[in-house]
Structure formats: C-alpha cells, structure tokens
Amino acid sequence: MTWIQEIRHIVGEEYVQTKQSSLLSYAYDATPNFNTKPEAVVAPASEQEIKEIVTVCANYQIPIVPRGSGTNLAAGTTPTQGGVVLLFHRMNRILELDEDNLTITVQPGVITGDICEAVEAKGLFYPPDPSSMKISTIGGNINENSGGLRGLKYGVTKDYVLGVNAVIANGDVIQAGGKNVKDVAGYDLTSLFVGSEGTLGIITEATLKLVPLPESKQTLLASFDSIERAAETVSKVIANKLTPATLEFIDRATIQAVEDYTHVGLPTDAEAVLLIEQDGPPSICEHDIQLIQSIAIEHEAISTQIAETEERATELREARRSALSALAKRSPTTILEDATVPRSEIATMVKAIEAIALEHDVKIATFGHAGDGNLHPTCMTDLRDKDEWERVEAAFAAIFRKAIDLGGTITGEHGVGEMKSPYLAWKVGDEGIQLMNQIKHAFDPDQIMNPGKIFHRSGGEVDE
Amino acid sequence: MTWIQEIRHIVGEEYVQTKQSSLLSYAYDATPNFNTKPEAVVAPASEQEIKEIVTVCANYQIPIVPRGSGTNLAAGTTPTQGGVVLLFHRMNRILELDEDNLTITVQPGVITGDICEAVEAKGLFYPPDPSSMKISTIGGNINENSGGLRGLKYGVTKDYVLGVNAVIANGDVIQAGGKNVKDVAGYDLTSLFVGSEGTLGIITEATLKLVPLPESKQTLLASFDSIERAAETVSKVIANKLTPATLEFIDRATIQAVEDYTHVGLPTDAEAVLLIEQDGPPSICEHDIQLIQSIAIEHEAISTQIAETEERATELREARRSALSALAKRSPTTILEDATVPRSEIATMVKAIEAIALEHDVKIATFGHAGDGNLHPTCMTDLRDKDEWERVEAAFAAIFRKAIDLGGTITGEHGVGEMKSPYLAWKVGDEGIQLMNQIKHAFDPDQIMNPGKIFHRSGGEVDE
C-alpha cells in the first residue's frame, strides 16, 4: 500500500483528492508568487483520523500542511515542499458554548465569523476580528495568532485561546490548557501552539475565552490634511487614558481606492483618515467618542463625523475592511504587508514607507491599526514585470528593516510563513532563530509539520 | 580557580555569599518541608554579569536557582540540588515608563508593588496583583505567571508581559517580544518564559503592558449561610454579563481567622463571604455594584455591605489579602494550595475539600478567587507530627485529583515547583510531560536551570 492508499483507508476514498485540477486549487494561498502543488488534499473528520494521518506521514516522511480557508498572506499555507494539504471543513462544529464559564469549545474548521454570531446571540463576545473573519477558520486564526481591528482594547487571538488539543509529529495528542483562566501547570504549550503556523502540530480542538458583549457602539470618522496630525490625534487619545475598541488609519491612496470601490463618501481630499470606534455602556461610549472628536478637532481635523445610525457605522466599518479588496482591484498583483511599530512611531513609519516607495519607484498605499502600530503597507504591482518585482522586494526589505529600527517587528498579525522567513533573524536574532529551531525539533524532529515555514532554508541568514 | 572564585571575579567579592549563616537563609522559600542550602548566593548587577555567571555554571554543571523575594509556595525557589541562588536586588530599576506606548520596562528585581505605584502616579495601571505584591519581585511574578485578585476581569501576569530578555544555559541572551501588542515573528518565546519557573533561563529584563487606571472603585461584602448560595450568586453575576474586578470567596474557617487577625468586622456567623469589587467610571461602578448587591440579596445573603469610604474598602481588601497570614498564626505549619476549577464548579469543589479534610482528619480552610475558580485550600498543621503530615499529603493529593476530575488544574497561580511536580502528569498527561521535557532540553540540555522543578525526578509518575 502506498501512503496515499493508507490515508484513503483512514478517511475514506472521497476525502482524498489527488486529481491535478484539485491539487492545483491548493497549490497557493492568498500570497502572490508561491505556487506548488501538494500530492494529496485530505479532509479528515476527527482528531483520531488526524492522529492516524500524522502517523502515516511520519512513517513516510511526508510534509503536512494544515489549511483553513487559504487567506494567509505570507505563504504560510502553501505546500511548498509538496505532501499533504489537510482541510478542516468536516471538523467545523461548535462543540460547546459554556455560558457559566464564558468559554466556547470548537473544532478548527469553524468559520471565525460563525463563532462571533453564535456567541453574540447569547450576549457574549469573541473580540478577535481579522479582516478575513467572514471566511477564515478559527484553526487558521489560532495557527497565525490573527489580529484584527480591536487589538488595542481587546488584544489578539492568543489572548482568547485558553486551551488547544493538537496532534504532534509522533502521533501524541497534546491537551494544553483548558477552561481555567488561571493555570500554571507546566509550560504554556497553548501559547506556543498559537501562532506556530502549523509547524509544531495539527490543532484539532480549541477552547476560547469569551467576554460579555458590549452594550453599544459609536463610530467616528475624522480626516486630516497631514499624517502627523492624524498620528498626534492617536497619541493624544491614548494620553487621555482612552482605549477605543478600534483606531484605524487610512492613507490618501487607500482612501481613494476604498471610495472608488465602496462609494461610502470617504473624504478623498484628505491625506489621512482615522476610523475610531468605542464600545461599552451607552453613556461611556458617547462620552469617549465625543472627547475623541474634540481631540481630533484640536489637532486640525478637516472633517469629523459621528455615525448617526448603526447602518452608517457598519458601512464605514465595512469600507475599512474592504481596503485589501479595493486596492487589489487596482493592479494585477497586490502585496499586503504588516510591518508593525510601537504606536508612537506610526507617523515616522508611514513617512518612511512613502519615502521607500519613492526611492524604489513602486506604488505603496498604507492603512492599518493605528491603535496598536500594526500597519499594512500594500504594494500594487504586477508579478510579471520582473524588474518592478525586484524593486518591490527591495522596498519591502527596506520597510521591514525600518520597522525593526523603530523597535517594531516584521509581522504583527499575518505570520512569517515562507515569504518572510528570510527576515525573521532581523527581529529575533540568530540566537532566537537557533532556539526556535530547537523547539521545532522537540516537537517535530523529522520536519514533517509545515516544513519551510518560519525557518528560512539557508538557516536564518538573509542577503542584503 | 574554583567556580566560586570565578563568580567572585565577575560580580565582586561582596556580592557572593558563602558563609553557612547566609546559605541557611536561602535554603528555603515560603514552602514548608523543603530546606537545602545552596553553595553560594550571588547578587549580579547586570545582564552581562548574569551571562558570565551562567557560562561559569554551565562549564562546571552548577545548578542556578533564581530567587526574587522567596515567597514561592511550591518550593519553586529552593536550591534543592545545591548550586547558586541568584538574587536580583541590585537589578531593581524601572528602566522606562513609556506613556505613549503604555509600557513599562523593568529589571527583574523591582518589587511589583513599586511598579504599581510608579504607573498609578501617571494615571496608568498594572493589573496583576498577587497577594504577595508588596514584597514579591516582578521577576518572580513573571517566572511563576502570578495571578491575583483581579484575574476574572484583567487576567494574570502573562497577559501583561509583552517581552522579556533572558539568558539561557548556553549563555545566549534571548530578546523575546518587545513593545508591540501585535507581534507574530516566530514562536511566542515570551509566553514560554512566563511561568517557566526559572527552568528555561534567567530573566534579565521585561517590558510590561499597562492600561489606563480605572477612575473609581466600589467594594461590596456579602455574607451567606451556605456555600451554594454564595456560588449561585457568583454564577448569577456572570450570567448578568457583569465582570467584577474582584470576586473573592472566603469560607467560615477563614472568616474567623481573618476576623481574629484584623478585627474589621467580618460576619463570623456566616458560612461564606464574597468580597466583590468593581472599577471603572463612577456611574458604571455604582450601577454594577448595586446590581450585584441585589443579586446577592436575591440569593439569600444574610448581610450585604457596600463600603462607604475608600478607607473601609481598603480595610476589607487588606483583610482578604491577610488570609494566609491570619491562618498561619493558627498552627505551626500552614500549607496554602491553589487547586483551580472552572468557575461553575466552585461550590462542588469547596464541598469536596470539606469532605476530604474530614475524611483525612485534617484542618483545611478555603478562600480564593471565585471569579476565576482559583481556590486556596489552606491546611493548618504541624510538620513535626509525622502521622498528621502523611494525612495532609494524602488530603492534598485527593484535592488535586478532584480538581482535575472537575476539569480544573493542580495549580492556578503558584506554580508546580518541586512540591507539585509529582502531580503534573495528572493535568498534562505523560505526553505533555514528555513534550515539556523536550522543550526544557532545547533550552537547557545539561539541566542547570533550576533543576528538579516542574519535572518530577521519577519522570512524572506519582504513587497513588
């Protein structure tokens, strides 16, 4: 029996795809320029099946690449070394919503947006909200430690994962954490799995922390004729001990693209727009949003607008969430990055990105989460233009370098994947890479778990 | 040159203690029945000195035990295999309070209470508040992932550690994380160091997340004539989507001890007392605390009392914080445990603890953090009574077993240390122990970093 036959035996014929047309569909994720077909695409139905698949793959040294909905932007879910792509659409059940303990236990294939809807129906709230949440899976979000628009006030995925089950390369099922908010029994394996990009094991179940759903929301749009004024507004909001739920930044190029795409009435004459939301009890929301509005006006906002209705607020929020789609329509290839800096360095970083784009003669629009310094410089280019592509790569290297110099990081919420692996050493040092490699080895000595991701082939060095 | 001479050469004569009287002082921490002298007690002044000390210790295979203020309750900071105890009182500086990015960067020897005071002076807030915070160090808190009274609303130490520097056994300085709220560049080494009890490396610096200081606080004391009514009150508070800052439970025996010790007027006729605090904007605080009061009354509270003044609130808060000291006065030996269960299981667990105490003929009082299920069954005993001591150990084993059976954990906030290492496998399984052992090996192949802690000598098995 070949290994593919063995896997067919585990999950059933119909859940193993090996036709070229099927393999092609799973050769790439949302990252341009990475495209390698797997040898099989497998959809297991249970943790037990995953355990058996992993055992077969370990025996034959076959790479396993777990894939949620393939929205990854750093080539984290492309099978660049072939092998098996694991799908989770048959493991998409909410197993328990525990209202007493404020937890939800889910299988990895549940769409994150469905979790939000299920808990909101009970007056509860799962805050992490990556822009992809309507299509991305919770398993993918956990593997990538996804962020989103609410990072400043609510944190990111890791702040809500209380426990995971995972199958590691030797076939063991590791049960890390659980429903306990306080649990210090040994190393924090839960946090180690979160954001490990499928390189340590296959997550088969997760228990997430919930909080009460805020009673109300308020949304403010403020536009500025300079990036500095927008950034100063952000600083002043923080200095006033305010913690908005959302504090988004959009630059001129993105404003134009989003407006062309959504026609929601964004001020296309502005250099920068802030989209600010507060949630909580109505009196607090109102107080905070009005104070933020007055701070924006103090900092020479050219216009401010508090959404009068929930429809208008949704429109503005959706407009912001559409930024990638809007920019993607403007060129054959779009590269969305997520270099991140301490909040106080946002204006410096946005200016630096503009200068780098100019220097390398490439088109970069920037938007992102100003509240947590997580920016999305987005390059509109054409992969087929080899000369421009080289300039794009050089520009992004310069952007990563600048983020590091400002005390930031090469990736705030998208992950390292294969694409950013050459730059990881800039952030964590050769010592950090070596230690992470040793951790990887402890979990997966034969490198079958999503090989080639996080760790650069040449061992963490990058040509400059 | 001997290894001690080499270390003297690094830190200076006066910072290496080897006199028997000095060694005796560092032979134990706050855990009864663990007492082993180190060979030297060393107080380095810098990360560089620690790097050099670690290198010497690695060369000579000398154990290194980092120690904050020695308040550990699980024999986590006792030098049970001899070697060097590292002290951090010369590394007790706040390096930076960054009000723009809401972070504070500190050396490990800073007293946690001093961090709180420093940030509160700027209108900011560091929420983790272990009962020992007035004397314990932030380095100790990070190594143990300390909890405290505010876990339900604010989480624990790990939720506030954005980055650490640590020296690992090979002498490398690992810089994990930083000021960025969003950072997914590789594995989450920061979370791995937090709660690793000194077994992975020596923490030399940490960057902590701050939040705005709540504007006001309200404190409510509610007493009940049954544990169930108190527990139902807790459930109903959560069901009402309230998230109090503090939700403490005190049983009859603890109430009596605390009242005798503090004379603050606790209702000594009650079976259970809840101490509940809310913080936030005044209107919200008042609304929440009144709603909680009415929920308590609905659940047949025999008395409820909202603190009229901040002095009274402080008195009640300090009374609760004094529980361990109060109980410790009642017997030669006190063992404070921290078995933890999902919040919904508190009444069951408290009842089970009572039954276990009866069955083993030992005296156990219970108090703890009802909001997060983190209980502190506290045994009043006498170490010299060998027969009773055996019954105490059997009782605690039964308590840990019960916590696990209820979906809980053997330690919520104190750590595994050496004392609870025999029970770790009950929580994480043999697979979990094996994986943690491999992680330990990746960081510290020669087992010089706080050896014997977390991992039981016999390899994770426990005699039942």
**Binning pLDDT at 50, 70 and 90, where does residue B154 land?**
very high
Residues B307 and B396 in one domain: no
pLDDT of B464 over the 70 cut:
no
Two tokens, residue B42: 């060393």
Rounded Cα–Cα distance for residues A237 and A329 (Å): 34
Residue A296: burial class (beta carbons within 10 Å; 0-12, 13-18, 19+): buried
Q: How large is the average pLDDT for residues A138-165?
A: 96
pLDDT of B459 over the 50 cut:
no
pLDDT of A85 over the 50 cut:
yes
Please, what's the b/e burial string for A112-128 (b: 16 or more CB within 10 A of its CB; e: otherwise)?
bbbbbebbeeeebbbbb
pLDDT the model gives residue A238 = 92
Q: Report the percentage of chain B scoring pLDDT > 70.
A: 98
Task: Give the total number of structural domains in chain B.
Answer: 4
Model confidence pLDDT, tens digit, residues B306-329: 999 999 999 999 899 899 999 999
**Binning pLDDT at 50, 70 and 90, where does residue B463 land?**
very low
Model confidence pLDDT, tens digit, residues A173-198: 999 999 998 999 999 999 999 999 99
Q: Tell the residue number behind the tokens 């393939």, with chain if given.
A: A70
Domain boundary residue, one of B355, B389, B405: B405
Asked whether residue A232 is domain-assigned, the answer is: yes
Residues B278 and B234 in one domain: yes
Model confidence pLDDT, tens digit, residues A352-398: 999 999 999 999 999 999 999 999 999 999 999 999 999 999 999 99
Residues B331 and B310 in one domain: no
Residues A232 and A293 in one domain: yes
Residues B100 and B191 in one domain: yes
pLDDT the model gives residue B1 = 85
pLDDT the model gives residue B462 = 42
Residue A282 is part of a domain; what is its CATH number?
Answer: 3.30.70.2190
A180 reaches B (C-beta below 8 A): yes
Calculate the alpha carbon distances from A169 to A81, A307, A459 in Å: 17, 51, 22
Residue numbers in B near A281 (CB within 8 A) = 283-284, 287
Residues A98 and A185 in one domain: yes
pLDDT the model gives residue B458 = 58
Asked whether residue A255 is domain-assigned, the answer is: yes
Residues B70 and B140 in one domain: no
Model confidence pLDDT, tens digit, residues B217-231: 999 999 999 999 999
Write down the mean pLDDT value for chain A: 95
Phi, psi of A169 (to 5 degrees): -60, -30
Residues B100 and B208 in one domain: yes
Amino acid at residue number A210: L
Q: How large is the average pLDDT for residues B47-53?
A: 98
Q: Which residues contact B99 (CB under 8 A, 6 or more apart)?
A: A238, A239, B122, B124
A340 reaches B (C-beta below 8 A): yes
Is the Cβ pair A102, B344 closer than 8 Å? no
Asked whether residue A181 is domain-assigned, the answer is: yes
**Binning pLDDT at 50, 70 and 90, where does residue A291 land?**
very high
**Binning pLDDT at 50, 70 and 90, where does residue B418 land?**
very high
Q: How large is the average pLDDT for residues A140-166?
A: 96
Two tokens, residue A381: 């280019």
Residue B386 is part of a domain; what is its CATH number?
Answer: 3.30.70.2740
Model confidence pLDDT, tens digit, residues A94-148: 999 999 999 999 999 999 999 999 999 999 999 999 989 999 999 999 999 999 9
pLDDT the model gives residue B88 = 98
Q: Report the percentage of chain A scoring pLDDT > 90.
A: 96
Residue B204 is part of a domain; what is its CATH number?
Answer: 3.30.465.10
Write down the mean pLDDT value for chain B: 95
Q: How large is the average pLDDT for residues A292-320?
A: 95
Asked whether residue A43 is domain-assigned, the answer is: yes
**Is A210 in contact with A154 (CB distance < 8 Å)?**
no
Rounded Cα–Cα distance for residues A284 and A291 (Å): 10
Rounded Cα–Cα distance for residues B196 and B135 (Å): 21
Amino acid at residue number A318: E
* Chain A / chain B CB contacts < 8 angstroms: 274
Q: Tell the residue number behind the tokens 């219970």, with chain if given.
A: B366
Model confidence pLDDT, tens digit, residues B91-138: 999 999 999 999 999 999 999 999 999 999 999 999 999 989 999 999
ipTM value for the complex: 0.95
Q: Which residues contact B253 (CB under 8 A, 6 or more apart)?
A: B363, B364, B365, B366
pLDDT the model gives residue A1 = 84
Asked whether residue A166 is domain-assigned, the answer is: yes
Rounded Cα–Cα distance for residues A266 and A252 (Å): 10
Asked whether residue B361 is domain-assigned, the answer is: yes
Model confidence pLDDT, tens digit, residues A420-439: 999 999 999 999 999 999 99
Asked whether residue A454 is domain-assigned, the answer is: no
Q: What is the CA radius of gyration of chain B?
A: 22
Residue numbers in A near B342 (CB within 8 A) = 98, 100-101, 103, 178-180
pLDDT of B80 over the 80 cut:
yes
Model confidence pLDDT, tens digit, residues A56-80: 999 999 999 999 999 999 999 999 9
Domain boundary residue, one of A197, A212, A227: A212
Domain boundary residue, one of B168, B189, B212: B212
Residues A69 and A103 in one domain: no
DSSP A307-344: -SSHHHHHHHHHHHHTHHHHHHTTSSEEEE---B--GG
**Is A409 in contact with B178 (CB distance < 8 Å)?**
yes
Asked whether residue A150 is domain-assigned, the answer is: yes
Residues A99 and A137 in one domain: yes
Rounded Cα–Cα distance for residues B237 and B245 (Å): 12
| Strand order from edge to edge, sheet including A40-42 | A16-17, A40-42, A84-86, A64-66
Calculate the alpha carbon distances from B240 to A181, A337, B288 in Å: 19, 41, 10
> Which residues 76-95 of A have a C-beta within 8 angstroms of B?
none
Q: Which of B187, B189, B372 sits opposite A181 (nearest CB)?
A: B372
Rounded Cα–Cα distance for residues A61 and A83 (Å): 9
Most B CBs within 10 Å: which of A47, A150, A180, A243, as the mutation test of the B interface? Answer: A180
Phi, psi of A98 (to 5 degrees): -100, 100
DSSP label at A111?
A: B
Q: Report the percentage of chain B scoring pLDDT > 90.
A: 96
Residues B109 and B163 in one domain: yes
pLDDT the model gives residue A458 = 58
Residues A224 and A198 in one domain: no
Contacts by residues B350-354 (CB-CB < 8 Å, ≥ 24 positions apart): B350/B227, B350/B231, B350/B249, B350/B251, B350/B375, B351/B227, B352/B399, B352/B402, B353/B377, B353/B399, B353/B402
Model confidence pLDDT, tens digit, residues B261-308: 999 999 999 999 999 999 999 999 999 999 999 999 999 999 999 999
Amino acid at residue number A341: V
> Which residues 143-172 of A have a C-beta within 8 angstroms of B?
144-145, 147, 151-152, 155-156, 158-159, 168, 172
Q: Give the residue numbers spanning the domain of B29.
A: 3-86
pLDDT the model gives residue B460 = 40
pLDDT of B20 over the 80 cut:
yes
Q: How large is the average pLDDT for residues B198-214?
A: 98
Q: For CA atoms B406, B412, B414, B419, give the dihedral sign.
A: positive
